[in-house]
Amino acid sequence: MKAYIMIKIRAGDVKDVVHQLRKVGGVVEAHMTFGPYDAVAVVETADLAKLGAITALEIQPIPGVEQTLTCLAVDV
């Protein structure tokens, strides 16, 4: 399963957060963005439980992360 996690980050911490995101297992891409969110992480996992664990236990605790929005990718 693939998901896009949109992340709001405290001002001044974007570079450090993106660097930390790239170290998280399951994160296949992480980029700074312009717009309502400051970064996006592309995550690939075997199931929804693993995605939840990555988001809650590895991404949200990164210093500077203020908010996340997880969007599941669906193939049609």
Supply the pTM of this predicted model: 0.94
Q: Structure tokens of 42? A: 């592309």
- The CA dihedral of 17, 9, 25, 31, to the nearest 10 degrees, is -80
As a whole number, mean pLDDT of residues 35-57 equals 97
Quote the pLDDT of residue 22.
98
Burial 32-60 (b: 16+ CB within 10 A, else e): eeeeebbbbbbbebeeeeebeebbeebbe
Query: What type of residue sits at position 1?
Result: M
Domains observed in the chain: 2-72 (3.30.70.920)
Provide the pLDDT confidence category of residue 12 given band limits of 50, 70 and 90. Answer: very high
